[in-house]
Amino acid sequence: MSEFAISFHAQEQMLNRGIDESIVSQALKVPLDIVEEDGLDVYHHVFIEGEREYLLRVYVNSEKIPPLVVTVYKTSKIKKYLP
């Protein structure tokens, strides 16, 4: 993830929520889509964990250099966020 920096908060959230850095990296490299929310870019990525499908939402402050991952979480409510 050399093109992105990860905030301490985002690192904590990844650890607490069991989100592997490789999944975050994949979301940043090949996002399903990117939406703007509260002045941040939100990168979406769908992945399978166990037998369930999840949507990863990665919040990025693109105004920083390098862009800063602010926080990240996964949700099973995919239809809520994707068209």
Q: What is the pLDDT of residue 83?
A: 75
Alpha carbon 30 to its chain's center = 11
Q: Which helix (H) or strand (E) holds 65?
A: none
The answer, yes or no, to whether residue 78 has pLDDT greater than 60, is yes
Is 73 within a domain?
Answer: yes
Is 83 within a domain?
Answer: no
Q: What is the domain count for the chain? A: 1
By residue range, what is the domain housing residue 16?
5-78
pTM beyond 0.85, yes or no: yes
Burial class (CB in 10 A: 0-12, 13-18, 19+), 47: middle
> Each residue of 26-60: pLDDT tens digit?
999 999 999 999 999 999 999 999 999 999 999 99
